[in-house]
Structure 1
Amino acid sequence: MDTARLTVFRAVATLGSFTSAAKSLRYTQSAISRQIAVLEEGLGVALFDRQARGVRLTEEGRVLLAHAEAVLDRLDMARRELTAIRDLDGGRLRIGTFATAATALVPPAVVAFRRDFPHVELSVSDGLTAHLAARLRAGELDVAVVHQGPILDGLTTHELLADPQFVALPHGHRLAHRKTVRLAELATENWIAGSTSVENTLIGACLRSGFRPVVRYVVQEWTAKQGLVAAGLGVTLVPGLLASAVRPDVALARLRAADMRPRSVVAVIADRAVAQRFLPYLTDSARSLPGARTG
């Protein structure tokens, strides 16, 4: 049985007239009538009662409609699944991430995904959460790895991990042997930070701990911060995602969660099969990171 005729039949049955079905399917009315006539002839039954205003299903037509809908729905599902396979066999996947996640979280996921789907064209770019969220909304990204926040309202997020905060100390520092420290124990230190704004995460946390940090050096670049710490010029915050990339002459101590809550890292995934398939790879990568609490 020709599935195209089943599509015509379902349209006529749903809309109640040949004219409406013709308009919906962009056929001529005569073409619709001809398709239904051929279908009825082939089945040996009348599918519609023709009336002055439209048509009505016969008992035989109602029986066929149930089967036609099942067949057409299954075919539609098959097309979607085949499209998904085709996308994974040669589509593209555009990933956006904040810079820290690009250091340890995203690369292992990309490597594993490329091993399983070598024909997918992959690209990775970095940026701030607000910028990445805007690009995903605009259809310029398929996956965004970002920090959870109000800027993501309206988007479906998948929690990957809770990223704890560490403090980087010179090896000769009085607290360098400690695994965990309180912010209050660092009240007299010189700090290296990305800014001196009151919105700065460090400054806000220190104020809640009862002191205002002395920011002696304002540095954005992570490698430069490490160099200053190693030289004994101050201490700085280190996200857990960067813990494995710390140089050997710098010591790390974890800050208590009560002093500085771990930041939630999430993935926002576009509604494309290739993007949805990438999520488990990100989840596996997050689970493999030491010290991070996964969702």
Structure 2
Amino acid sequence: MPLPHRVSDLSAFDLLLSVAELGSIGAAARAHAITQPTASARLSGLERGLGIALLDRTARGSRLTRDGALVADWARTAVGAAAALDVGITSLRRTRESRVPVAASLTVAEYLLPHWLAALRPSAEGASVALTTGNSDDVAAAVLAGEARLGFVEGPDVPAGLTAATVGRDTLTVIVRPGHRWARRRSGITADELAATALVSRERGSGTRRALERALRRGTDRPLEEPLLELSSTTAIKAAVAEGVGPAVLSSLAVAAELAAGTLIRVPVVALDLTRELRVVHPAGQALTGTPRTLAAIARRSASLDDPAG
């Protein structure tokens, strides 16, 4: 039910209450940060709309008429309720801003986001990030559903309804155990060989898997072999490779420690571009503000994602 038009503008009633409290239109105008002519015009408009004389205007100031005092008493409850409503809405907004749901794909969540959150802490006092992880499809779905204010994805595609911005680059790396036949191939392998090999792979919906498949389709005409094993955890994939189950392709960020220790071996791929973009996504048409905007800016500034293996 819409408000009756005569009482739809509570700001005029609030101004009337200030005249009653402060004793003049000029003082009320200053309290409301408006000019005296503007205040006088608003009060005159209120009187015309109500059909009631609310103020006695004299050279010494203005005071409420008897009818004006009655209207002010009735208005006080409505104006107070509006103020309480505003306080409640402000509280909800602060609560929403203080807890920022963020979704991130596994590589970003494990190897990059902790550094970004550490950099965020000084500028986001009182705010907390509630992080959920999944593959790139999961992240995009969470942002589209409003379950996350922003997300970080590794996949080459961004669904309709999301705006994306690149925060850096990552390189996919072919890994094998030290005893694997490819480990002795200093010249590397070809895109055809990689496409024809059953790999230990991430699940469908993974940005890593989609980026690899897209790179192979650009680099070879050979049909892609189906995965030997599908796992949803980079840790599980690395363990499977180390046990000799088969080769895999993971982010260079995810395997840097194992390559340095020699427990896994990097295999070059000849003439195949395995770089990919890492991106921040948020709902299209909704500008990032507050903590989400700061976090996205930190990611863009601090992500140095060149292949650590060289």
Shared fold, TM over 0.5: yes
Which residue number corresponds to residue 74 of structure 2? none
- Residue identity matched to 1:263: R
Match of 2:25 among 8, 13, 38: 38
> Which letter maps to 2:8?
K
Secondary structure of 2:277 counterpart: strand
Distance in 2 separating the partners of 1:97 and 1:20: 49
1:204 Cα deviation after fit: 5.8
- How many Å apart are 1:40 and its aligned residue? 9.8
Instruction: Supply the RMSD in Å over aligned alpha carbons.
Output: 4.5
Which residue in the other structure is 1:6 paired with? none
Q: CA deviation at 1:259?
A: 3.4
Distance 2:225 2:167 in 1: 33
Q: Give the secondary-structure state (helix, strand or coil) at the position aligned to 1:159.
A: strand
The 1:21/1:280 distance shift into structure 2, 3 A limit, reads farther
Which residue of 1 is the match for residue 8 of structure 2?
23
Quick one: structure 1 residues 108 and 187, their matched pair in 2 at CA, closer, same or farther if it must change by over 3 Å?
A: same
Q: How far apart are 1:134 and its partner, in Å?
A: 3.5
**Cα distance in 2, alignment partners of residues 148 and 215 from structure 1:** 19
Letter matched to residue 132 of structure 1:
V
Question: How big is the shift at 1:111?
Answer: 2.1
Verify the 8 A CA contact 2:173 2:274 in the aligned structure 1: no
Write the distance in 1 (CA, Å) between the matches of 2:15 and 2:204: 75
How much has 1:284 moved relative to structure 2?
A: 3.7
* Percent pairwise identity: 20
Q: Unaligned stretches of 5+ in structure 2?
A: 30-34, 50-89
| SS at structure 2 position matched to 1:100 | helix
Bigger radius of gyration among the two: 2
Q: Does the CA contact (< 8 Å) of 2:200 and 2:230 recur in 1?
A: yes
Q: Write the letter of the residue equivalent to 1:240.
A: S
Decide whether the 8 Å contact of 2:177 with 2:241 is kept in 1. yes
3-state DSSP class of the match of 2:228?
A: strand
Which of 265, 270, 275 is the aligned partner of 1:262?
A: 275
| Alpha-carbon distance between aligned partners in 1 of 2:215 and 2:280, rounded to the nearest angstrom | 26
Shift of 1:159: 0.9
The residue number in structure 2 matching 1:253 is 267
**In structure 1, how many angstroms separate the alpha carbons of the residues matched to 2:295 and 2:204?**
38
Change beyond 3 A, Cα 1:45–1:272? closer
Q: Residue deviations 1:109-166, cap 9 Å, x none?
A: 1122235545322221112334333333443322211235554433332211232221
CA deviations over 1:86-115 (Å, ceiling 9, x no partner): 969x82222210112112111111122235
Match of 1:92 in 2: 99
Structure 1 residue 249, shift from structure 2 partner? 1.4
Equivalent position of 1:146 in the other structure: 153
Gaps in structure 1 of 5+ consecutive residues:
1-18, 55-82
TM-score (norm 2): 0.58
* Residues 243 and 25 (structure 1), Cα distance of their counterparts in 2 relative to 1, 3 Å cut: farther
Select 2:241's aligned residue among 226, 229, 249.
229
Q: 1:104 and 2:111 equivalent?
A: yes
Length, aligned pairs only: 240
Matches of 1:118 and 1:109, distance apart in 2: 15
Distance 1:108 1:272, change over 3 A: same
The amino acid of 1:156's aligned partner reads T
Q: Residue 44 of structure 1: CA displacement?
A: 7.5
Give the structure 2 partner of residue 66 of structure 1: none
Letter in 2 for 1:161: G
The aligned counterpart of 1:274 is 291
Alignment TM-score, normalising by the size of structure 1: 0.60
- The answer to whether the 8 Å contact 2:177/2:183 transfers is no
Question: Which of 166, 187, 191 is the equivalent residue of 1:183?
Answer: 191
Tell whether the 8 Å contact from 1:94 to 1:142 is kept in structure 2 after alignment. Answer: yes
